[in-house]
Amino acid sequence: MQLTSSAFVDNGMIPVKYTCQGQDINPDLIIEGIAENTKSLALIMDDPDAPIGTWVHWVVFDIPVIGRIEENTIPGKQGKNTAGRLNYHGPCPPSGTHRYFFKIYALDSFLDLDKYATKAELESSMQGHILDQAQLVGLYKKK
């Protein structure tokens, strides 16, 4: 499976539009090579370079099997990010350049999770159901 975006390349800079300094909307994500038996997809976007430890920006699960997540869309059920919100929270590093990991998972089932599920709860629920996974890394430094 492969995850790409038309907005930025792997390990490239994320455009301002998708950050706290822009429109704060999610970039489009293109998912290719999804396993044939996939029933749903799950997505986690996080920043391991945050001063408090990994900052979770977006948690989405029970995404239908689709080849593209359009920009500024909610493709499935949203879980809770580190800010305590149920939405996409774009890159907004306090200092320096941070890495933002967009991780997509192909699952053999839908997940019985409530809309306030955290990244940890999603990861726990996915155990034994992951058919494949891919990631895309974007970089951002405040202007």
d(CA 5, CA 130): 22
pTM to 2 decimal places: 0.97
CATH, residue 91: 3.90.280.10
Mean of the per-residue pLDDT values of the chain: 97
Percentages (nearest 5) of helix, strand, coil residues in the chain: 10, 35, 55
Cβ-count burial 13-30 (b if 16+ within 10 Å, e if not):
ebeeebbeeeebebbbbe
Res. 105 pLDDT band, cuts 50 70 90: very high
Count of domains forming the chain: 1
Q: Does the pLDDT at position 112 exceed 90? A: no
- Name the amino acid, one letter, at 5: S
Find the mean pLDDT for residues 22-39. 98
Query: What is the residue range of 112's domain?
Result: 2-140
Q: Is 96 exposed, middle or buried (0-12, 13-18, 19+ CB in 10 A)?
A: exposed
